[in-house]
Amino acid sequence: MGSLIIHEEYLKYKEELEKLTEHLAKMVEEYTHKISHEYHLLLTEYINKIGKLERTEFEYSLKAMAIKRKMELARSYLNRQESPDEDKIDEVIQKEYKEYYERLEEMEKDIKIANLFTDAPVLSEEEGKELKSLYKQLVKKLHPDVKKEATEQDLMLWNQAVDSYEKGDLEMLRTIADIASGIEEKLPEKSEDAVAELKEKCEKIRTRITEYLSKLSSLDKVFPFNKRMFLNDAVLVELRRQELMRSIDEWKAYYKELRQKYKMLLNGESY
């Protein structure tokens, strides 16, 4: 192949690679913005409006179910003409309801995370725009799906960038952007092998674009993204809150009633 043809082919695929990379970078930025930044904002909003009440409802429903089971176990002791062993009953409950107690712990962890984001400093509109702009630049320079020959330093900087973006740490993101500004991807020399390499890179980028299209289309179907419309409807949110508060009051009353009956069983009394 003549050097002129190689040069033209090289420029053609080089330009195509740049366009495809730019397209992929935009898609990656949109996706990572959703899962690393928007995710926490939506989750925090949902937990503050609904999640804390759901956690309380679940807590008291679990307490009621557990103490009802304790009553069954206590009766089995009494039916055998034995005194109920409260410690052994508690051991059985911990084993039988292990999955439910773990879920309660997970809900509590989510609330703690939401509280951290609620208490985080709020950026001004101008600072928010700068945060997003810097993040877009870093996606193009460091994201492993965009920069295929990412070095260990690139990956370290990328992880730091994601963490800073999630926390809204503008100063740290500025620092990372300064460090990354000197990183430039080297293209192969102009030769037949270089043209083939560029064609291969283009094909890989197209595959990545298809993958991210699929990821983005499915993202809005999962929590908390599927709660966006609900959270924006103040009437629906208030109706759900009222429903949960009524349910909490009912579970609390039921738990109080069962707890009193359980104490009577432990004392050998009837109710």
Which tokens hold the place of 150? 């990412």
Tokens in use for 180? 């990354």
Nearest partner of 142 among 131, 153, 127, judged by Cα: 153
Higher pLDDT, 132 or 49: 49
Task: Give Cα 172 distance to the centre of its chain.
Answer: 22
Per the listing, tokens 């709020």 go with: 122
Least confident range of 146-150, 174-178, 208-212, 254-258: 146-150
Model confidence at 224, pLDDT cuts 50, 70, 90, reads very high
Task: Report the pLDDT value the prediction gives residue 212, as an integer from 0 to 100.
Answer: 85
Whole-structure pTM value:
0.68
* Alpha carbons 37 and 163: distance in angstroms, whole number: 10
Q: What are the sequence ranges of the domains in the chain? A: 3-266
Whole-angstrom distance, CA of residue 201 vs CA of residue 207: 10
Return mean pLDDT, the chain: 86
CB-based contact 248:53 (threshold 8 Å): yes
In 3D, which of 218, 235, 229, 245 has the Cα closest to residue 55?
A: 245
- Inform me whether the pLDDT recorded for 2 exceeds 60: no
CB 21 within 8 A of CB 209: no
The 10s digit of each residue's pLDDT in 183-198 is 555 555 556 777 888 8
**Which pLDDT belongs to residue 53?**
97
The mean pLDDT value for 144-160 works out to 80
- Based on its alpha-carbon atoms, the radius of gyration of the chain, rounded to whole angstroms, reads 29
* pLDDT bracket for residue 144 (50, 70, 90): confident
Residue 40: pLDDT band (50, 70, 90) is confident
For residues 5 and 162, the model is more confident at: 162
- Which of the residue ranges 60-69, 109-118, 123-132 has the most confident prediction, judged by mean pLDDT? 60-69
